[in-house]
Each structure stands twice: as C-alpha cells, then as structure tokens.
Amino acid sequence: MSRRMSAAVTVVAAIGALAAPGGAAAAPVVDTSDLRDAVTLEGVVEHMQEFQDIADANGGNREASSPGYDASVAYVVEQLEAAGYEVTEQEFDYDYFEEVEAATLTRTSGEGAPEAYEDGVDISTMDFSGSGSFSGVVQAVDVVVPMTPGSPDGTSNSGCEAEDFTGFTGDIALIQRGTCDFSVKIANAVAAGAEAVIIFNEGNSEDRSGVDFGQASFAQDVPVVEMSYEAGAALVELIESSSEPITLEGSTNTINEQRSSSNVIADWPGGREDRTVVSGAHLDSVAEGPGINDNGSGSAGLLETALEVAELGVEPRNHLRFIWFGAEEAGLVGSQFYVDSLAKRDLKDIAVMLNFDMIGSPNPGWFVYDGDASDTASTGSAGSGVVEDVFVDFFDSIGRISEPTAFDGRSDYDAFVAAGIPAGGLFTGAEDHKTVEQAAPDYWGGEAGVAYDPCYHAACDTIENYDPTALDEMSDALAHGLWTFAMTTSAIEGTSKGNATGQYDPSFKGSSAIR
C-alpha cells in the first residue's frame, strides 16, 4: 500500500539507500516542476493520436514487423532528430507468430459427446502454437482438480517434471497452468509422445480462470491450445470417471516465421555517461489492434518528455538515453537484443532503467514497480527499491494513493534487471480486475470487477481507450522520475554490481501472462 504524506507538489526526491555500505547520504533536492509543467496531457494525447492515425492508415495495427510499426518509428525518429537528439535505429530479427484461424476442439467420446468447445470462451490458440489437426485419446497429467480458491499461484506444477509423464500413453496431453514456464510443460509432453497439448488455467483465482493467458516463448512443432479452468476441470473429472478413454479432435492454424523489427535509441548530448539514465517504452502493438494504451500511452509520454527536455534547453548532470523498443509483444525481444548488444563497460555505465508500459488504462490503477520486493514476489535488482521510492513519494505528494506491482517479467525492464541494473517504472493495469477496495471513491474510483484495461490486446485499444486523469498524473510522474535521476549527484545502490553480461534465457516473457 502507498505511504501517505503531506508535501508540496514541488517534490524533494527521496533517493534513499545509496552506494556507500552501511548507510545513506542525504538525498539531493531535485526540483522537477519545470519539466512536469512542460509535459502536458494535450501533448501526450497528440502523439497518441498520431499513432492511431498511423494504425488507421496501415491495416489497423502497429505490430513490430508491420508498415504501421515502420511508420511509428519514422514519426518518433523525425520528432527526435528535429529536437536535436542523436538517433539510432537498431535492427534485429525475431520470431513472428500469427493465428490465421481460430482453434477448434471437440470431445468425440464420453457422456454428451460430441461436445464442441467455443473459441474465446472455453479455448484459444496459445501464442507460438504449431499448426495442424489432431485427434486421439486425451490424458490428464498431474493436475490439481478441484483447485481451492485463493490458493497461491503455482499450487499446480502439472507437467513441470519429466516424471509427471511416467506411464503417459495418450495422444493429447491435458496439463494445468502453474509453477513453471509453459514451454517446459510442452517440451515434457512432446518428449513423452504427445501429438498435441492442452493447457488449462490454474483455477485458484478469477484472474487465473479464463482463456488466452499465455505464450510458448518460441515456435512449437505441435498444436498447443489454452483452455479455461472450468472447461479443463470438467474434462479432467470426465476422464477420471469414465471407464473408456476420452477422445478429442481439433486444429490450430498459425504462422511462425522470422521477421525483422527495430529499436529507436535517442541520446541527449552531454551528461555523465558513466551514470546513464535509460528510459524505455515499447512502440509496437499486438496484431489485433492499434495499441494506443498498450503501449501508445507509454511511448507518447516518453516522447513528449524527451521533446520537452530539448525545448527547455536544460543540461542534465547524467546522460539521458530514451529507447522505444520493438517486438515487446513477441517476447521482450527488442529490449533483450539491446542489452545483449552492450559491451560490459556500457552495461556498468547504466545507472538506472525506467520503464513505462501502459500508463493510461481506462479503468486505471496507479501502480509502481515493487523494487524492494517488500509487497510482491518481485525479482528486481539491487537499487530498484530506490527507484520505487521516487515514484511512490511523488504520488504521495499529490495525494494520490499508489500500489506496488511485481517485477514479473512481463515488460522491457526484465533484461536490465537480469543484468543487475536498478530499474523501476509505472503501470496502470492490464487484464487483471479492479477490486472493490480500489474502486471506492476515496481510493481510485472506477468499476470493481472490471479489467483495468478491458481492451487489452484487442481491436478496441484505440484513441478512446484511456483515462485522462491517470494519463496526466502518470506523465507527470514519468517526467519527475526521469529528471530526478538525470540530476542526482548520488550513485544508486547496485549501479555497478550487475553481472554485466546481458545474457540470459528470456523464456516466457512478454505481455501475455506467464506461468
């Protein structure tokens, strides 16, 4: 929960624990009001409208390999170069996935057969599923049914170990979400002889009950279908109660191929390069829509802030680097590529990474990444708690309640965290539902039981899909955090303690829910 305090809107940044062992130096005073005043809601929305216009002119989306993405890159580059930034377009290849036709699945034996499962309600195609038809006996693998509501995530570890498939003789593996990456479950199933895989949701909460909850990280050789907990649990019970094998038939129709995209990297001249402040937002959308909240909002807020830094003519103490990442929706590919491309010295020179992914959700929450892991199962790097404090203290200063959100590997901070770089950022919520407490008028307001962004990863994520109050306050917080770290004379704890390799396995990352 947020720490409340009464303070002036001109914020004294609470930098907190510093590099010196056993203590903390006094926090420097950073007045961010000029930049916050310059970054206006109207300016941010103007960029979001440009992204909408680009999508409208290019097939309705800004997916990372599409003409809409190329046009988005061109717009951002043009704006930055005109403002005086040194701009680089960093190209890379990535694995592209597209669902050509909806998944089909029918139960062909057992009581009530045939029973057809409905796409989008009972089933969906998992991202990076293989393509093809399948039929045969379905066999459940080490599932937990019924699942007790409120059980911790990871109560089920179905399919996580090769031993789970001992005695597996089926054609189709029925696996439950939980504990390990979906790709691990799929690989174990295929090694055991499964010709198709169905993964049903864990069922311990409302947020882990529906369909369309994951991705397989990389292209699979077999069809992989997601299933709701309700449908999966009913199928398990039927398998266990039937004296005859239960059979299914179904299909997936997908494209898995390699494509190219790019990152936009903009450096503002000057500042200490051994304390580079990296601020990032992903520029791509999903193929289903224009992606104006996800993540036109973060991209626009970052762009407007960068342009106002130039317009004000201010000189930061520390070097500023702004990055618009490509192919985030394909598994955080652009940010991982960027980190992997850096030399060891360059990695150590990054003082902090600030991430802005969805900052205008229409049923918003005011979330700050839990850098010190005091409230969530975060995996933040040393020093990330310092970043959290800066944003939390800002929201406290304007009387806004904020809540911690986990570093859960779902956005572009992840590669930086893995390299030991302090990180933090802002988020207004995606597919999870707002609680009754959060929707109270004296808390955040909005609608309880409704997703923070009901248009998450959908065609309706348009220029109409944002909350102006949240976007305005988040943009101010973005400017405040960026300028705080731009001007601080203190090192952030953990700055030079990373492994500085940038090499790690990014399995199961991206905006789709993991595990």
Which stretch of 69-73, 391-395, 485-489 has the lowest confidence by average pLDDT?
Answer: 485-489
pLDDT above 70 as % of the chain: 90
What's the mean pLDDT when you consider all of the chain? 90
Pick the range with the lowest mean pLDDT from 18-22, 45-49, 57-61, 446-450. 18-22
Q: How far apart are CA 399 and CA 449, in angstroms?
A: 25
- Alpha-carbon span 481 to 275, nearest angstrom: 15
Distance CA 43, CA 304 (A): 6
Tell me what the mean pLDDT of segment 370-380 comes to: 88
Q: Per-residue pLDDT for 324 more than 70?
A: yes
Q: Are the beta carbons of 201 and 232 closer than 8 angstroms?
A: yes
Residue 29: the pLDDT is: 59
Residue 2: pLDDT band (50, 70, 90) is very low
Q: Which DSSP string do the residues of 90-103 spell out, in sequence order? A: EEEEEEEEEEEEEE
Residue 82 pLDDT > 70:
yes
How many Å apart are CA 125 and CA 274, to the nearest integer? 45
The pLDDT of residue 503 is above 80: no
User: What pLDDT score was predicted for residue 217?
Assistant: 83
The model's pLDDT over 377-425, given as tens digits with 9 standing for 90+, comes to: 887 788 999 999 999 999 999 999 999 999 989 999 999 999 999 999 9
Residue entry with tokens 């652009």 = 334
Q: Is the pLDDT of residue 15 over 80?
A: no
Give residue 28's pLDDT band: very low, low, confident or very high (50, 70, 90): low
Task: Answer yes or no: is pLDDT of 264 > 60.
Answer: yes
Token duo for residue 355: 């991430």
pLDDT of residue 492: 67
Higher pLDDT, 512 or 132: 132
- DSSP states of 69-88 as a string? HHHHHHHHHHHHHHHT-EEE
Could you tell me the domains of the chain? 33-84+269-487 (3.40.630.10), 97-257 (3.50.30.30)
Give pLDDT, residue 230: 98
DSSP per residue over 473-509, as a string?
Answer: HHHHHHHHHHHHHHH--SPBTTTT-S--------TT-
The answer to whether the CB of 210 falls within 8 A of the CB of 120 is: no
Q: Which of 21-25, 142-146, 355-359 has the lowest mean pLDDT?
A: 21-25
Using CA atoms, how far apart are residues 454 and 322, in angstroms rounded to an integer? 29
Round to whole Å and give the CA distance between 251 and 224.
Answer: 9
**In 10 A of CB 2, how many CB atoms?**
16
Start-to-end Cα distance in the chain: 25
CA dihedral 388, 474, 55, 464 (to 10 degrees): 140
- For residue 292, give the DSSP letter: I
Residue 62's pLDDT is what? 98
Which of 63, 308, 328, 493 is an active site residue? 328
Residue 228 has pLDDT above 60, yes or no: yes
Q: Which one, of 129, 145, 117, lies nearest residue 231 by Cα?
A: 117
CA 132 distance to own-chain centroid: 29
pTM of the model: 0.82
Distance CA 375, CA 372 (A): 8
Select from 230, 181, 169, 164 the least CA-distant residue to 202: 230
- How many Cβ atoms sit within 10 Å of the Cβ of residue 118? 14
**pLDDT single digits (tens) 171-220:** 999 999 999 999 999 999 999 999 999 999 999 998 899 998 888 988 99
Phi, psi (5° rounding) for residue 171?
-100, -30
Active site residue 437: no
Q: Using CA atoms, how far apart are residues 392 and 3, in angstroms rounded to an integer?
A: 7
User: Given this model, what pLDDT does residue 490 score?
Assistant: 75
Which range is least confidently modeled, 24-33, 189-198, 443-452?
Answer: 24-33
- Quick one: pLDDT band at residue 470, thresholds 50, 70, 90? very high
SS3 of 404, please? strand
